[in-house]
Structure formats: structure tokens, C-alpha cells
């Protein structure tokens, strides 16, 4: 059974800092790995999707990596801004598309 863990649960950093969010999963048969952002009281916004044949994806200041052999994914945020404050969720999926979510990392970027 796939389990997804995110560390840390919460993170507070000053504006401008580069930071890394961690995600680990137990089943290396993962098909793809997605990172989502959730703002308070709102739904999820997909940030990056890494397919099993890929090792990383980039979008703007965001870079996500996937290492299936070690069961880990990281989300790197460069030059953080107050607008990046949100909860970041990672989710692994099987080839049927069923997503298993971690509990999230709540990020606060202080001006």
C-alpha cells in the first residue's frame, strides 16, 4: 500500500531564501508524482507533474525532482516570495491515476 510522507509539516523562512520541501513514498512502483499548492480555504492547484520516466520538471522558480529508487521527491523554490505562502502537497499515483496524498507542508514566507 502506497504511503506518502512530507517533511517538515511547517516551515517559516524570510523572503528571498531558497528552500526545499521533501516528499517520500513507500512504493517504488509509483507511476507519477505531482506537487500541488493549496491556499487557505481553497482547492488545490497543480504545480508540477513528474512522470515515472522523468527525473525532474521545472516551472518558473519551481523545480521538482523524482528519485524512484530512493522513494523521494523534492520541490525546490528559488527566491521565495510572500505570495508563495501556502500548503504544498505531494501525491503519488498508480498507472490508473489514483492519487495518494501526503499531509502537506505549510510554508510561510515572511516579508
Partner 1 sequence: ETGVTQTPRHLVMGMTNKKSWKCEQHLGHNAMYWYKQSAKKPLELMFVYNFKEQTENNSVPSRFSPECPNSSHLFLHLHTLQPEDSALYLCASSQGYERGTDTQYFGPGTRLTVL
Residues at the contact surface with partner 1, assessed by CB under 8 A: 4, 31-32, 34, 36, 41-46, 49, 51, 89, 91, 93-104
Nearer to partner 1, 76 or 101 (CB): 101
Min. distance of Cβ 39 from partner 1 in angstroms? 10
Min. distance of Cβ 54 from partner 1 in angstroms? 11
Min. distance of Cβ 34 from partner 1 in angstroms? 7
Going from the C-alpha of 98 to that of each of 25, 31, 35, 106, the distances in angstroms are 14, 10, 14, 24
Secondary structure element (H or E) that encloses residue 108, with its range = strand 105-110
Kindly calculate the radius of gyration of the chain based on its CA atoms and give it in whole angstroms.
13
Amino acid at each position: 500500500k502506497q504511503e506518502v510522507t512530507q517533511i517538515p509539516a511547517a516551515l517559516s523562512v524570510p523572503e528571498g531564501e531558497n528552500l526545499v520541501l521533501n516528499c517520500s513514498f513507500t512504493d517504488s512502483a509509483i507511476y507519477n508524482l505531482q506537487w500541488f499548492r493549496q491556499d487557505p480555504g481553497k482547492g488545490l492547484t497543480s504545480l508540477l507533474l513528474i512522470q515515472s520516466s522523468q527525473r525532474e520538471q521545472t516551472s518558473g522558480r519551481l523545480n521538482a525532482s523524482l528519485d524512484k529508487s530512493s522513494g523521494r521527491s523534492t520541490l525546490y523554490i528559488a527566491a521565495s516570495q510572500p505570495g508563495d505562502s501556502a500548503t504544498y502537497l505531494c501525491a503519488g499515483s498508480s498507472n490508473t491515476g489514483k492519487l495518494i496524498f501526503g499531509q502537506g507542508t505549510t510554508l510561510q514566507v515572511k516579508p
